Structures are given as C-alpha cells and as structure tokens.
Amino acid sequence: MPTYVRTDKCDGCKDEDKVYCMYICPHDLMLLDKDGSKTGHAMKALNQEPEQCWECYACVKACPKQAIECRHYADVVPLGASVQPLRKTDSIIWSIKFRNGNTKRFQFPVRTTPEGSADPYGGEPEANMDELADHGTLFTKSTHDCDLDQFIES
C-alpha cells in the first residue's frame, strides 16, 4: 500500500541540502509541490502516483521530519495500528502501534562504519583493476581460493 505525506509535519526540507523523499525514491514518485498548484499545500511533498509505489519505505526512512507514513494492508497492520521507522545515524527504531493502543519499539544497528563512510573491501585485499577483463579472476572468486581452515574453530 502506498505512502502518503503528513502535511502537518512536512516542511518541504527547507533547511536541508536536498529534498530527501525526492532524492531517495527509486521510482521517482515523490514530488515537492512548491507553489501548491497540485495539492493546495505549497512546499509540501506528495506521492504523485500512489498506485506505482513499491512500498519500499525508503522515503519513510529518509524523511527528516517523519512526515511520510504508509497505508498498510489490513491483514498485516489493521485499522488503527501503524508501523513507523525513525532513522538515526547508526541505527533504526521501529515503532509498532497495535490496534489496542499499545506501542512497542525495536532498535536495530544499521551500520558497521560511521555514516557517510564505507569499507568496500571489508578487510579483503583491494581489487586489482587490471584483472577485471579476465573473467576467471573476479574479485569474489577469491573466497573460493581462500584457506577454509582459518574459519574452523579448533
């Protein structure tokens, strides 16, 4: 089921370096209605084609104002219940609100490196770019050639 924007929370990312929902949507569905001509709400975002939404939650997680929510299938999240994430720099907190009003929160780590950084080789030797043309020496092939004994506890 598609996402929708809470106009009471959305501020159009006016203090951000980008409009996060537009930036992140893999299907290019989110749009900032700058002059309000599409929705009657200037500087508020909208999901311009809800029927095309992948329900991937990327925009829900990326929105810095927690202004995007998702309409769920009733058999998964019944009326009155909700599932809402809060993304932090190193973890994500899922708030699960049940139909009876109870709320549970679950926090999970989401990174192994500081936000904005990556460790592409993860301790493995760097790829030899000269070997890329040779399909027999793909980078991932090295896992087949490694000494498996090093992973076996004695």
Any idea which residues carry the catalytic annotation? 54
Q: What is the DSSP string of 105-152?
A: EEEEE--SS-TT---TTTTSPPP-GGGTT-GGG-GGGHHHHS-GGGGS
Report the distance separating Cα 110 and Cα 84, nearest Å: 16
Footprint on residues 16-45 left by ligand SF4 (CB under 6 A): 19-21, 24-25, 27, 29-30, 32, 45
Q: Is 84 in the site for ligand SF4 (CB under 6 A)?
A: no
Q: Decide whether 54 or 98 has the Cβ nearer to ligand SF4.
A: 54
Q: Which two tokens stand for residue 136?
A: 């027999």
Binding residue for ligand SF4, selected from 4, 39, 41, 65, defined by CB under 6 A:
65
Q: Is 54 in the site for ligand SF4 (CB under 6 A)?
A: yes
Q: Decide whether 48 or 137 has the Cβ nearer to ligand SF4.
A: 48
Instruction: Give residue for tokens 């000269």.
Output: 130
Report the distance separating Cα 47 and Cα 29, nearest Å: 6
Footprint on residues 91-130 left by ligand SF4 (CB under 6 A): none
CB 13 within 8 A of CB 69: no
CB 27 within 8 A of CB 52: yes
Q: Is 4 in the site for ligand SF4 (CB under 6 A)?
A: no
Q: Is 77 in the site for ligand SF4 (CB under 6 A)?
A: no
Q: Decide whether 56 or 86 has the Cβ nearer to ligand SF4.
A: 56
List residues near ligand SF4 by CB under 6 A. 3, 5, 10-13, 19-21, 24-25, 27, 29-30, 32, 45, 47, 53-59, 63, 65, 67-68
